[in-house]
Amino acid sequence: MSAEYYDYYDGSKLFLFLSNRLGLPIDLVNFLIAQFAALCVARLFRKPLKLASPEFRHSLCLVIGLLMGYFCFGKQAVHLSVLPMIGYILLRTLSPNLMGNVILAASMIYLSCIHLHRQIYHTADYSLDITGPLMVITQRVTSLAYSLQDKLTTKEINANSTSNSWSKDFKTDKMPSPLEYFAYTLAFQTLMCGPVVFYSDYISFIEGDHVNGEGKSHMTEREPSPRLAVLYKVAGSVAAAVLYLSLAKKYPLTVLEELTNPHSEVSRSWSALYLLWYAYLSTLVVRCKYYHAWLLSEAICNNSGMGFNGYDTNGSPKWDKMSNIDVLGFELAQNFRAAVSSWNKNTNAWLRLVAYSRGGWRTTRVYALSAIWHGFHPGYYFTFFAGGIFTVAAKKVRSFARPMFVDSKPKKMLYDALTFITTRVAMTYATVPFILLNLSPTLAFYGKFYYSLHFIALGALFLPNNNKYHTTQNSNCSNTSSKLKENSIQENIVEANGKMKVH
């Protein structure tokens, strides 16, 4: 690595010898050491510390989080304390009617300043920096602010929304003490890469209320063990890491940066079809990096006893409340919305809480907030712009075209195959800028396709409504209403067992 790389990175260099031996960047080595140490320490919260006082459990989460932050980020870790401190001062001083919006604005401004600093002054090639944990802390601070606001003002979030019952899951009964607040915002289990943990879930974990009261009839005296869930997720995380390390050099997405050079082989000889295929493989490899980090973080949560989500219909415990990714759900999705819902799921829940349920222009608000939350690289905005119009266009196409294919099994199979391929193409087309980040290669990539998918999506918005679709929907609604009483008992059991309302 270059001298500049080591000079800019503020984290610990204690394991530099291991970094050189493995051929991995020191920031990645520190991340892995911190996460696997957290996985081991998390076990203490289930056995020796299960009956410890809430104050002690809060303190341990806070101290370990601070140590992890300093180990990985050095002096930059000061931001991990400043942002929550600003949020807590505002929580204590603002009117309940204002705290949500003001704290969201203050947190996003602070995070944006750090994003801009890194974008302007960062020239090294390491990937671990303080913006990652700050993005997670922003989610925690703002979700807590809106949860308190909803409880203290006793208002419905949106009179035109059906999400009011869902929002009750995140309401907070009282203002947290300083220890509760800072332990929540800096809890080590999800500090490095999420997922966001909502305050009500964190307090239930600390106080030992892992199982909903309605679900206790399914239990013996012992708490259900997360051992199998942890092993499964650690194995998935390791498999994703191996796949990433094996294929990253074979399908580097940086090759697409050569599109800016009209004399390169990529520009001269690659067809649009082959370019799309290569981009799909490259983005798949990059996704493996996210699968590795998120599955490992979820395993840490489960190993500490966090993330229990009731029982399934067979009476088996579910440990998926802190799940941030549904790998198969994303990779095999048959429409764009299903793919988005399977990716970074708890962030989707956060966006729904702080943006989607707060007013009009919901899709626009969600994608705009998500883009700013990620930073200011142009690639983010190209991705979220494409994602926004693709989501709306896919819904329009589905309502127009699907009724033409549902009257026979072969036609339905053809429709499913077409939607699967279309979703893969659209997702690859939309997410390449997110990884390229810079403007020139993004424009060159889209220019290779003449921005065709953008125009197709915009054209789809003008498709007429399919009357057959609405007739079928009305018929289905009447048939469904006759089955509500039959299904109500099963639905109550599912809700009592802790099924998440949003995925």
- Which residue, 295, 298, 303, is CA-closest to 241? 295
Instruction: Report how far apart, in Å, the C-alpha atoms of 25 and of each of 11, 40, 74, 210, 286 are.
Output: 12, 23, 16, 38, 17
Give the H/E segment covering residue 230: helix 227-247
Q: Are 161 and 357 in contact (CB under 8 A)?
A: yes
**How many alpha carbons fall within 13 Å on the CB side of residue 279?**
31
- Which residue, 130, 113, 123, is CA-closest to 30? 130
Among candidate residues 58, 374, 377, 454, the one labeled active-site is: 374
- Which residue, 289, 305, 316, 374, is CA-closest to 116? 374
The residues, ordered by sequence, that sit 6+ positions from 330 with a Cβ below 8 Å of its Cβ are 287, 339, 342, 343
Q: Is 58 labeled as catalytic in the residue annotation?
A: no
Question: Can you name the residues that pair with 402 across neighbouring β-strands?
Answer: none
Q: Are 353 and 365 in contact (CB under 8 A)?
A: no
Alpha helices in 304-438 (DSSP H): 327-331, 336-342, 345-354, 362-374, 378-401, 409-436
- Which residue, 328, 161, 146, 295, is CA-closest to 229? 295
Give the H/E segment covering residue 189: none
- Which residue, 153, 147, 173, 172, is CA-closest to 97? 153
Q: What is the C-alpha radius of gyration for the chain, rounded to an integer number of angstroms?
A: 24
Name the DSSP letter for residue 316.
-
Give the H/E segment covering residue 499: none
User: What are φ and ψ of residue 343, in 5° steps?
Assistant: -105, 130
Q: Are 426 and 390 in contact (CB under 8 A)?
A: yes
- Which residue, 345, 391, 374, is CA-closest to 435? 374
Cα of first residue to Cα of last residue in the chain, in angstroms, is: 41
Q: Are 111 and 73 in contact (CB under 8 A)?
A: no
Among candidate residues 302, 309, 335, 344, the one labeled active-site is: 344
Q: How far is 400 from 404, CA to CA, in rounded Å?
A: 8
The residues, ordered by sequence, that sit 6+ positions from 153 with a Cβ below 8 Å of its Cβ are 96, 97
Q: Is 210 labeled as catalytic in the residue annotation?
A: no
Q: How far is 346 from 193, CA to CA, in rounded Å?
A: 12
Residues marked as catalytic? 344, 374
